[in-house]
Structure 1
């Protein structure tokens, strides 16, 4: 699973572009070939349910729960940071500790303080602390920031919390340029070798940590953070992958679940192959919306007003094929040219937010008409979190580490990928092939999966607000419907629109419903729809 916060939010606030399409970057699955909505729902009903943990804290974990954070000023004015410890292995707390980085911005007032509000922007692999300090701590509604201490913890293996590292900058440059639509056996071998090198790099960096970066463990860490903050219940806003993390917390600790907002929901009951193929269809839905908008604009390089959506897709695929044969210049100081893989990633990055569509049109125009790939390369770099010096954040490393641990691999061989190509290409004629091959990487991971698809019911939890966007590319709307159906206390809130996630993206209806819930504890009516 991979989920990313919106592109426009990065350009507007300089917040880190947080991974959200990682199903396609690091697919993982139990291997089911289910691809239709009806059969997927039937399979979900037969899936095991996540069991709640005992209410009593085990004696071996008591020292962790009794920690008191030592806050220090950090980052921008008003922010504080601390470090907490959690057991590396919850099954054997004596095996050592892991350090968790935590940051907060205290409630500004006026009004009675409501406790802490933890936030997670997605990924897996996105830095919650980076998101807090660059956006949420200053950009969340003032009335929310007035009543809550805004808190972020980087999950284990992410950013400031003992980050997983796999490849250096030049190695990642090579990896991101690898052809993920192999045309023959030689290109297939090259792709497999790239996946192996990536996995071996991660395994060499942190062999012990790599076994303990699952979502279940990260959710248990959040309960330690909750206790250290002095809160009886966890209040939380999670976006994209953050919804899976928050729902997992609710399933493990329903009696400690406070006000939870799960925006851009994942469906925890699906296998990774199901998740991948449904996300592929989600990106096709987003591309269709982009294509319809593009041909209405005077600067659309993919067609004119009379060009149909299917032809727009064919024109883009033809451009990708040309890049596959002859990459074009970008002016990059490292000498990178725009390859098919980098161009595809650049287009995908812009699908997260309709606010990025003008930038995508300009980048495509420059590449297709002026032989200048700089714009698409910049979009791709933003997706991968590559800076101007050629260094990469650990986003993609942590993303693979969590995904490959949470679920068994989607495919176990290139032959399985080839067999699934018709289903993926049906889901998205434009992106299907690349998404299918990208889902092979977990097969070569050095650590076996410890998780499996599970329904999450969280019986006994307080009302939980699940938010879905009807044309969300990375977390299809059906996933929000499914998660809301699973959670015993869920209230489904729908945004009829484009882009990834809904809260804080311009809908007064959505924002008002969520703010009312966070401030008063009154959830929206189940099934409420906004546009």
Structure 2
């Protein structure tokens, strides 16, 4: 459920190759720029009031320092909230000050889990409208276990290279044994290299950190924009601290009631739908689509390209474009329809035996650079997801799921099916009790869903809005992951009017 942060780097990377086309893609991000009548949140609650035993954390002052023109600080929180006098960890925070008189802070999270909130805030001019940036300090934080906060570490960069490039659809007993061994080594590495932190990177604990951050920022209630997995984090916060909920926008909702198998199945279906939409666009808008004359033929061509790479990886410098990397290279630009042009370039060149563009897309998904990995998102997503829900299908039972997954996604089904075994190697164990998320008593929470969202299917946003006692659903009819800031003025205005004025959109607003 990665958000657009990695995709931004993809676009920048391709600017030289695609020139004006990619520049136009860049211009399409960011919300509207309407005129608003700002209304402050109520301030009748003591922002520093703390749960028993946590007073020293809620009373801390953030010491801001300059970091490339923005403000940076570190927040201190307990590793284990059940033992507040025990070991402490730090949370990296970045603030982009408001351009005008601030209503307060808007805390943001880009998803993942594992995405960097500090990078999200740093790119606020790209992600959020001028109106939002005028009225709010945009504040991002790297959730515990991620980025520049006290971080999860599982393997060396070379080992992570091998893990990401691994066979996504093993077939022979030897191939299955190799993939299973790599998974076990990865899980054991997280525990060995991260220590007790591996037991304390749950979404519930990250939500508790967010309330400590709210207090340190001096806000009585939380204003928050969360995308993708950030909607789960925001909904969890609302369940834990309903009286502290100010104006929350959850874009690309996660259905927090689903088990991991159902989530994987529905994501497989979502990415197949997105791939078909991409191919249809190619067929409908070009004189002769390089993939074929109709959608089914185009899908078959994409699958043939992936199968060929799986059978015979393409040499790219001193590396190889493997089947695993090709999968990431294809799904990355499916997150936003504006980036389909990048996928066409990558597939066309791969057809000709050049895997450079597809490998670069895969690297951006994994945050891999020429100098190694720029963050630990690939490790954090494993540790956090598996701590939240350690359920896993035994490796020997994965083939039992092939039929339903291939029906949902003929192209990607087996990749997602094999992913069901991933958490079997996790060593993390949380002491947090599972939550039934209702957020009773919270102010209205706006959930934005996109009808053909591949990563967080529209039905998830519908379900989340229904599960939240005060949920309000705003729907965008369109392609790509999440709905705000992708050119739909109706969605942008609804979100911005709510955040700035407090005007709640009509439940069921369709854009």
- Alignment TM-score, normalising by the size of structure 1: 0.86
CA shift at 1:421, angstroms?
1.2
> Taking structure 1 as reference, are residues 10 and 509 closer, same or farther at Cα in structure 2, changes over 3 Å only?
farther
Matched, 1:149 2:137: yes
CA distance in 2, matches of 1:255, 1:286: 38
Map of 1:4 onto structure 2: 3
Alpha-carbon distance in 1 for matches of 2:389, 2:10: 33
- Report the CA distance shift for 1:322/1:11 in structure 2 as closer, same or farther (over 3 A): closer
Distance 1:13-1:326 versus aligned 2 partners, 3 A rule: closer
**SS of 1:447's equivalent?**
coil
2:69 counterpart of 1:83: no
| Residue equivalent to 2:23 | none
Q: Secondary structure at the match of 1:343?
A: helix
- The partner residue of 1:396 within 368, 371, 378 is 378
> Partner residue of 1:60?
53
Residue number in structure 2 paired with 1:523: 504
Residue 319 of structure 2 aligns to a residue in which SS?
Answer: coil
2 CA distance for matches of 1:454 and 1:477? 23
Q: Give per-residue Cα distances to partners, 1:68-112, cap 9 Å, x unaligned.
A: 11111113x2x1111111111011112211111111122221x4x
Note the 1:208-219 alignment, pairs <5 A: 208-219=196-207
CA-to-partner distance for each residue in 1:123-161, whole Å, 9 max, x for gaps?
Answer: 10010001111x115652222112211111110011011
Q: Of the candidates 304, 313, 321, which is equivalent to residue 307 of structure 2?
A: 321
Partner of 1:442: 423
Shift of 1:62: 0.8
| 1:301 shift after superposition | 3.2
Matched, 1:464 2:445: yes
1:514 to 483, 495, 498: 495
**What RMSD over aligned residues (CA atoms) do the two structures have, in Å?**
1.8
Q: What residue in structure 2 maps to residue 289 of structure 1?
A: 277
| SS of equivalent residue, structure 2 residue 454 | coil
Q: 1:9 to 1:196 in 2, by over 3 A?
A: same
Offset from partner CA, 1:241-278 (integer Å, 9 cap, x none): 00000000001100000000000010101111111111
Q: Which residue of 2 aligns with 1:49?
A: none
C-alpha spacing 1:446/1:7, structure 2 compared with 1 (3 Å): closer
Counterpart for residue 360 of structure 2: 378
Per the alignment, do residues 271 and 382 of structure 1 end up closer, same or farther by CA in structure 2, a change over 3 Å counting? same
Counterparts of 2:464 and 2:381 in 1: how far apart (Å)? 22
- The residue aligned with 2:85 is 94
Aligned length: 476
Aligned equivalent of 1:279, options 253, 267, 272: 267
Deviation at 1:329, TM superposition (A): 2.2
Deviation at 1:300, TM superposition (A): 3.5
Structure 1 counterpart of 2:37: none
Decide whether the 8 Å contact of 2:202 with 2:430 is kept in 1. Answer: no
1:235 matched to which residue of 2?
A: 223
Answering whether residue 210 of structure 2 is matched by residue 259 of structure 1, we say: no
Name the SS of the counterpart of 2:315 in structure 1.
coil
Residue among 446, 454, 458 paired with 1:473: 454
Task: State the alpha-carbon separation in 1 of the partners of residues 170 and 10 from structure 2.
Answer: 34
Aligned counterpart for 1:270 among listed residues 258, 265, 269: 258
Quote the Cα distance in structure 2 between the aligned partners of 1:11 and 1:397. Answer: 20
Q: Provide the C-alpha distance between the structure 1 equivalents of 2:125 and 2:3, rounded to a whole number of angstroms.
A: 18
1:408–1:451 contact (8 Å) kept in structure 2: no
* Partner of residue 122, structure 1: 111
SS in 2 for 1:231: coil
Which residue does the alignment assign to 1:73?
66
Change (3 A) 1:137 1:66: farther
The DSSP-based 3-state class of the residue aligned with 1:433 is: helix
CA deviations 1:176-213 (Å, max 9, x no partner) are 22112011110000000111121122111112101000
**Could you tell me whether the CA contact under 8 Å between 1:8 and 1:355 is conserved in 2?**
no
SS in 2 for 1:178: coil
Supply the distance in 2 between the matched residues of 1:59 and 1:7 (Cα, whole angstroms): 39
Distance in 2 separating the partners of 1:373 and 1:480: 36
| 299 and 402 in structure 1: CA distance in 2 versus 1, 3 angstrom threshold | farther
Q: Quick one: distance in 2 between partners of 1:184 and 1:200?
A: 24
Give SS of 1:337's match.
strand
Aligned to 1:29: none
Aligned: 1:193 with 2:181: yes
Report the counterpart of residue 29 of structure 2 in structure 1. Answer: none
- Kept in 2: contact 1:406–1:452 (CA 8 A): no
| Cα separation, partners in 2 of 1:64 and 1:120, compared to 1, 3 Å | same
Cross-structure match for 1:495:
476
8 Å CA contact 2:7, 2:332 repeated in 1 = no
- What TM-score does the superposition give when structure 2 sets the normalisation length? 0.90
| SS at structure 2 position matched to 1:95 | coil
Unaligned runs of 5+ in 2: 14-47
Aligned-pair CA distance for 1:438: 2.0
3-state DSSP class of the match of 1:94? coil
Q: In structure 2, the residue corresponding to 1:93 is in which secondary structure?
A: coil
- Would you say the 8 A contact 1:166–1:198 is kept in 2? yes
How far apart, CA to CA, are the structure 1 residues paired with 2:472 and 2:9? 29
Partner residue of 1:339?
A: 322
Q: 1:452 to 1:529 in 2, by over 3 A?
A: farther
Deviations 1:203-233, CA, capped at 9 Å, x for gaps: 1111210100000000000000001111100
Q: Is the 8 A contact 2:390 2:426 kept in 1?
A: no
Between the aligned partners of 1:427 and 1:138, the Cα distance in structure 2 is 34
| Contact kept? 1:102, 1:151, Cα under 8 Å | yes
Structure 2 CA distance for partners of 1:419 and 1:453, relative to 1, 3 Å: farther
Range that drifts further, 222-231 or 57-66: 57-66
